[in-house]
Chains A and B, each alone.
Chain A
Amino acid sequence: MPELAADRPDFRQALEALTGRFPGAVLSSGVEKGESAVRLRKDDLEAVLRFLKDELGFNVLEDIIVLDNVRTAAEGGKRFSVLYQLYRHPGASRIRLVVDVGDNEGLASAVPVYRSADWAEREAFDMFGVRFEGHPGLRRIYLPDDFEGYPLRKDFPLEGRDGGV
């Protein structure tokens, strides 16, 4: 599959440039199923995003995905993993950044770097309660403003809590 070839050679280059510019920022990295992922230190997020966009050409933020690690969090890990899917056009290559965030911790907003992060971060806040510092207007996007709870957390029941309308 062509996608496999697109990810690997660029990835090694990008990884070397990253670790060279931000020593200690990359906690781990790997390629699985042809997709490259880099686990970052939380505080380096904004600088790394800017570097990837301005200097390595990853000009598109395709999506921000949040995972609820409620099971591993009980053993001392961080509650949420926030994934950033970056894409380079032209070039058709991808890289995934992973940042771990605790339940009451804030995370730097990606909006100053990627405009398309605006609604994606609002969605992450709405569904999980992850707070993005520096976002121009962080508030719920799907659910009514007076909704209580964060539905995509694993401890929130599917049918909801208050019986709806």
Chain B
Amino acid sequence: MAFKEIDLNMGPQHPSTHGVLRLKLAVDNEVVLRVEPVVGYLHRGMEKLWENLTYTQVVPLTDRLDYIASLSNNLGYVLAVEKLAGIEVPRRARYIRVVLAELQRLASHLAWLGFMANDIGAMSVLLYGFEARETILDVFEEYCGARLTIHGIRIGGVPHDLDGALVARIRKVLDGIPARLADIRALLDENRIWKGRTVGVGTITASAAIEYGLTGPPLRASGVRWDLRKDLPYSSYDEFDFEVPLGRNGDVYDRYLIRLEEICQSIRIVRQALDGLPEGETSVKVPRVLKVAPSEVFHTIEAPKGVLGFYIKSNGTDKPERVKMKSPSFINLQSLEHMCKGNLFSDVVGILGSLDIVLGEIDK
């Protein structure tokens, strides 16, 4: 009796699946043959719910999609609505949105770093990463009262202004992050165990990545220069100077390095935005009941997890006819099998971590 192939079930309750994800693995001793993700354990029926709410009421629910980077979801949806309704947002508001979105990217990447390192076994990095993240969440809490599901970007602009005290606080937070990042890098970058578990693991080539529709840091780690903040700029991103870090090998280690570099670039963008914050209003007046003439748009932004898109169809009433969200994690997860094939099954956790998925976004 020769046993070659074993079926393993991972999840939906599992500490390293980043949520309620079920992975059906087929392994040959320890080598992964097939991976089939089963999703839907967090399907909340958001798109159906949105058809029953007004455009403004949908905004706080978008927070619950990618709950680690809620402001990005707010921004993606709100920009699509503004394109649909022809609302022009003042320049100061656009700069404040950039500040908020990039701070959110920082918080999201720090959380990712903590989770991925914890999954691989470096538990202290989780605590360091979350401590740095807390400084940013404090800024959000002071800005609009919420830490996680922030609803800090609204249709027409932003709800509050950045006064001198808050700007000074943000600068202080930005000054503190590189030191914490240096601590983490000292622990991980040249660490033999970390490199042994990440270098050459979960590789995907550039052409395969585009074939699978991969976007965001995993795509850039394979060497594809695709960043919507540069290619199709929105919200005044074209007025800032920043680089798009690219990887070479497309493995887990490269994805790790890319996101660390993105943290540095985000700090750079926020500093530029704060230095050049223009005068003006923080919002235009939008009717309380916003009715939009029949039309449709598809708008995308570069969220921390990848390209986030919203398709909205309006029908003349105050409620959208259809809202469809293009979720970056949903598409990125499809390439998991390709990346895991041939690797050890203990690498599945590291590869999954490097993809940086959020189930709220996958399952809607």
Please report A residues at the B interface, Cβ cutoff 8 Å: 1-3, 6, 32-33, 35, 59-63, 65, 67-68, 83, 85, 89-90, 92, 94, 96, 114-116, 118-120, 127, 140-144, 151-152, 156, 158
Inter-subunit contact B211/A142 (CB<8 Å): no
Q: Nearest A residue to B331 by beta-carbon distance? A: A116
Task: List 22 contacting pairs A-B, 8 Å CB cutoff, sorted by A.
Answer: A2-B232, A2-B233, A2-B238, A3-B232, A6-B232, A33-B83, A33-B295, A33-B297, A35-B296, A59-B210, A62-B213, A63-B311, A89-B210, A89-B231, A90-B225, A114-B213, A116-B331, A119-B334, A127-B47, A141-B40, A151-B45, A158-B45
Report the Cα distance A144→B38, complex, angstroms: 10
Q: Evaluate whether A67 and B48 lie within 8 angstroms (CB atoms) in the complex, with A32-B295, A141-B39 already known.
A: no
- Is B307 interfacial (CB-CB < 8 Å)? yes
Residues in chain A near residue B48, CB distance under 8 A: 151-152, 156, 158
B213 touches A142 (CB 8 A): no
In the complex, the chain A residue whose C-beta lies closest to that of B325 is A63
Residues of A close to B233: CB separation below 8 A? 2
A143 and B322 in contact, given A35-B297, A62-B300, A114-B213 (Cβ under 8 angstroms): no
Q: Would you give the 0/1 interface string for B244-273, flagging 1 where the beta carbon is closer than 8 Å to chain A? A: 000000000000000000000000000000
Closest to A127 in B: B47
When chains A and B are docked, how far (Å) is the Cα of A92 from the Cα of B224? 13
Contacts of A62 in B (CB 8 A): 213, 298, 300, 307, 309, 326
A120 contacts across to B, CB distance below 8 A: 331
Residue of A35, A67, A118 near B334 (CB, 8 A) is A118
Interface size class of B (residues with CB under 8 A): 35 or more
The A/B interface has a contact count, at CB < 8 Å, of 92
What is the distance, in angstroms, from A70's C-beta to the closest C-beta of chain B? Answer: 11
Q: Majority SS of interface residues in chain B?
A: mixed
Is B43 part of the contact surface with A, judged by Cβ < 8 Å?
yes
Q: Tell me the bound Cα distance from A127 to B325 in angstroms.
A: 13
Distance between Cα atoms of A61 and B307 in the complex (Å) = 12
Please give me the residue from chain B that is nearest to A119 by CB atom. B334
Say yes or no: A152-B47 contact (C-beta < 8 A), given A85-B311, A116-B213, A118-B334.
yes
Known contacts being A33-B84, A142-B39, is A96 close to B295, with CB within 8 Å? no
**Min CB–CB distance A52 → chain B (angstroms):** 15
- B86's closest neighbor in chain A, by CB? A33
Contact between chains at A115 and B232 (CB < 8 Å):
no
Which B258-314 residues have C-beta < 8 A from chain A? Answer: 295-298, 300, 307, 309, 311, 313
In the complex, A151 Cα to B51 Cα: how many Å? 12
Given contacts A114-B213, A141-B39, contact A96 B322 (CB under 8 A): no
Q: How far is the CA of A41 from the CA of B43 in the complex (A)?
A: 33
Nearest neighbor of B321 in chain A, beta-carbon distance: A67
B324: interface (CB < 8 Å): yes
CA distance A116 to B333 in the complex (A): 10
- Is the C-beta of B52 less than 8 angstroms from some C-beta in chain A? yes
Q: Kindly identify, within residues 41 to 75 of chain B, every residue whose CB is under 8 Å from any CB belonging to chain A.
A: 43, 45, 47-49, 52
Q: Are A61 and B213 interface neighbours, CB within 8 A?
A: yes
Chain B residues closer than 8 Å to A158, beta-carbon distance: 45, 48-49, 52
Residue pair B326, A63 in contact (C-beta under 8 Å): yes
Contact A119 B232 (CB under 8 A): no
A94–B331 touching, CB < 8 Å = no
**Given A62-B307, A114-B213, 14 further pairs, Cβ under 8 A:** A32-B295, A33-B295, A33-B297, A35-B296, A65-B322, A85-B309, A89-B224, A115-B334, A116-B213, A143-B43, A144-B40, A151-B48, A156-B48, A158-B48
Q: Which residues of B contact A1 (CB under 8 A)?
A: 234
A119 adjacent to B83 (CB under 8 Å): no
Q: Give, as a whole number of angstroms, the nearest-CB distance from A28 to chain B.
A: 14
- Complex contacts, A116 vs chain B, CB 8 Å: 211-213, 331, 334
Beta-carbon contact of A35 and B298 below 8 Å: yes
Please give me the 7 A-B residue pairs with the lowest Cβ-Cβ distance, nearest first.
Answer: A116-B213, A142-B40, A142-B43, A92-B231, A63-B326, A65-B324, A65-B311
B128 within 8 A of A: no
> Shortest CB–CB separation between residue B349 and chain A, in angstroms?
22
Question: Once the chains are docked, how many angstroms separate the CA of A68 from the CA of B324?
Answer: 12
The answer to the question of B226 belonging to the interface, with a C-beta cut-off of 8 Å to chain A, is yes
Contact of B298 among A60, A94, A127, A151 (CB under 8 A): A94
Contacts of A65 in B (CB 8 A): 298, 311, 322, 324
Question: Which residues of chain B in 322-364 are interfacial with respect to chain A, using CB atoms and an 8 Å cutoff?
Answer: 322, 324, 326, 330-331, 333-334, 363-364
Most buried by B among A1, A35, A63, A152: A63
Query: Please, which residues of chain B bring their CB within 8 A of the CB of A32?
Result: 295-296
Bound Cα distance A70, B213 (Å): 31
